[in-house]
Amino acid sequence: MTNDEATEAVIRKFKSVKQNPDVYLEGLMYSKPITYWDYIQVDTLLSLQKTRTELPDEEIFIMYHQVTELYFKMILSELKQISNHSYLRKSFLIPRIQRINRYVGALTMTFDIMSDGMEVEQYLKFRNALTPASGFQSAQYRMIELCCTDLDQLIDARDRKIVSKTDTLEKKFAHIYWLAGGKHPKTGDKTVTLSLFEEKYNKLLLDHANQYAETNLRKKYTSLPKSERLDEELIDALRELDRKINIEWPLVHYNTAKKYLVAKGETQKATGGSDWERYLHPMYQKRIFFPELWSKEEIENWAKK
């Protein structure tokens, strides 16, 4: 684009929204040059690590969670775009799913920052200062699942027989799998971790479930024309996504929890208070976003190998 063409394009843009382009062009004369630190908000970003102890490895723990939440935001951005697409075709869908797979892959590959990158002694000390907070309370993690599939796929494995596809969204939501991770192992009472999470996020998550009931990724996929639905590259990308989100990340996370919480041969209570050994292993809940893409045998052996 030449200078003249660029100026004309800018003038056209402002005129199209009934704004006087001269005022905006004059404003540009006085604008400050943008800097890296302002644009990336570096100072704000680096001020967000509020440790609760004096142990240096706590910063690693906080920052890695923050990095993960940013990746979750990137995943959600892709899922939103897929959901808003009114004329979805595999040419758009495949690269977007591949982007998500790249993000989740990066998180899985780097999880050793958690498993091997902190001193066990320090972790076991600073974790006490975090109780009852837990990654269990990550709302974005739940939003990703609700964007990926139907609520029916996220019902607690033990309740799947008593919840029917035709039940209301509210009833299904009352049997969502994560409630199992928010109960005291012995009494079955709700943990503080779950109660606080529900107080803050239940309405938002139910709205989110409603919003994506008809436009989640599984719905978008199953409503593609048959010729597109059977595309091998698309099927591979979706299976990869299911494997990455519902087996690989949960397994590296589970193994990390095991490393720290079974430290010194003694099983520790999780900060969120769950029956974590049973809850976190993906073979128990068998969350599967796209069941139509897996064989009966693959579903049976989910996360067992």
Binding region for ligand HEM (CB under 6 A): 64-65, 68, 114, 134-136, 138, 141, 178, 181, 253, 256-257, 260-261, 270-274, 276, 280
Closer residue to ligand HEM (CB): 172 or 253: 253
Residues 115/117/119/124 CA torsion (nearest 10 deg): -40
CB of 110 to ligand HEM, least distance (A): 10
Secondary structure class of 190 (helix, strand, coil) = strand
Instruction: Copy the structure tokens of residue 67.
Output: 């990095």
Nearest-10 crossing angle of helices 21-30, 3-16: 120
CB of 117 to ligand HEM, least distance (A): 9
Other Cβ atoms within 10 Å of 20 Cβ, number: 11
Closer residue to ligand HEM (CB): 62 or 94: 62
CB of 47 to ligand HEM, least distance (A): 20
Closer residue to ligand HEM (CB): 173 or 276: 276
Q: For residue 153, which of 235, 234, 212, 229 has the smallest C-alpha distance?
A: 212
Secondary structure class of 183 (helix, strand, coil) = strand
Closer residue to ligand HEM (CB): 217 or 257: 257
CB of 257 to ligand HEM, least distance (A): 4
Q: Answer yes or no: are the C-beta atoms of 83 and 220 closer than 8 Å.
A: yes
Q: For residue 151, which of 178, 137, 172, 167 has the smallest C-alpha distance?
A: 172
Closer residue to ligand HEM (CB): 63 or 206: 63
Nearest-10 crossing angle of helices 232-243, 90-109: 30
CB of 135 to ligand HEM, least distance (A): 2
